[in-house]
Structures are given as structure tokens and as C-alpha cells.
Amino acid sequence: MDFLKDSADDSDITVNFLKTIKTIMMEITEQDKAWMREAIRLADESVKNGGGPFGAVVVKDGELIAGSANSVTINNDPTAHAEVNAIRSACRKLNTFDLTGCVIYTSCEPCPMCLGAIYWAHISKIYYGNTRKDARDIDFADDFIYEELERPLTKRSVPILPLLRDEAIHTFRLWKEKTDKTAY
């Protein structure tokens, strides 16, 4: 469990968290490993085809729902990370935006964008292969994003400025008053 050591070195992970991870690790099945190997295979295939070194699969009730690789450079889309691509595909296949009960296996610890997408999709569990440190070691460093999120808006490297809230708030009022909305 070298990744636990790496993670503990990189942050202030508590002993209780590490115990929880150890318990979860003991519950990993051969099928979980097979799904992770599929995510890794997709990542390998992506590298061979000119994409980024990341793959992900979404599984529900033991069935593969979707699998995808990173296609940022192939599609000229900075949001086309493996996890986001797999989530989009799974949502289309299941005809829902709510992936409750699904598990995602991703070849690398999710970046902040992918983690946000996973939470918005209500995915129930995440398994990952490589760590953030492993990604940083091959020049995929997303630590700066985590750091940016901790900064006040006025201290971020990309200016983020409020504009026309008094007009924009109207849309939120419409949403709040809407009786037939689909909450998410």
C-alpha cells in the first residue's frame, strides 16, 4: 500500500482516515481489480492513440455502463478528461443525470474538475490507480487548482469578478418559483 504512504506524506491525513482506507482496501474484490485493469487498458490505449494517459469506467450492479479515455488533445476540449467522458457516456446510456449506485474506476486520482463531476453525478464510490503525486511526476500537476480554491476570490491568479448580479438573480428567482423543475 505504497500509495497510502505517498498520500500521507503529501497532506495531513489522519490516522482514522488511514484506518478507514485500510478497511476498504481489505474489501476490494477481484472484480474491482478487473474493472480497474479496464480503466488502465483504456489509458494505455489512449496514449497509443495520441490521447492523455488516463482512463475510466463506470459500473453499476456489476455491469459495465461506460468506459472512456482522456481526449483533451484529440478533441481540443480541456474538459474531456476520462472521468468526465465516462460520466457523460454513462448518463446517456442510462438516460439520467443521477448515477447513484454507480462506481467509477479511474486510472488516476481525479482532478478537481473530475471530482466535482463525480459528486454532481452522485457516483457512490471512486477507485483510483495512480495518485496525484504520480500525475505530478509526469507533468500533470493540478495542485495549483486545489490551491486556487483555497484562496479568496480577490487573490486568485485568474481574475474572478462579480458583474450584474442584480440582473442575474432574476433567473434564480424564476428557478426557485418553478413548480415543475427537476432538482439535481
Nine cell digits for residue 153: 476570490
Question: Which residues are registered as beta bridge partners of 99?
Answer: none
- Residue 83 is among the residues annotated as catalytic for this protein: yes
Say which of 27, 83, 109, 150 is annotated catalytic: 83
Q: Which residues contact 38 (CB under 8 A, 6 or more apart)?
A: 55, 57, 64, 67, 105
d(CA 104, CA 106): 6
Q: Which residues contact 64 (CB under 8 A, 6 or more apart)?
A: 35, 38, 57, 58
d(CA 97, CA 116): 14
Listing DSSP states for 28-58 in one string gives --HHHHHHHHHHHHHHHHHHHTTS-S-EEEE
Nearest alpha carbon to residue 103 among 63, 131, 68, 46: 63
Specify whether the CB–CB gap between 105 and 59 falls below 8 A: yes
Catalytic residues: 83
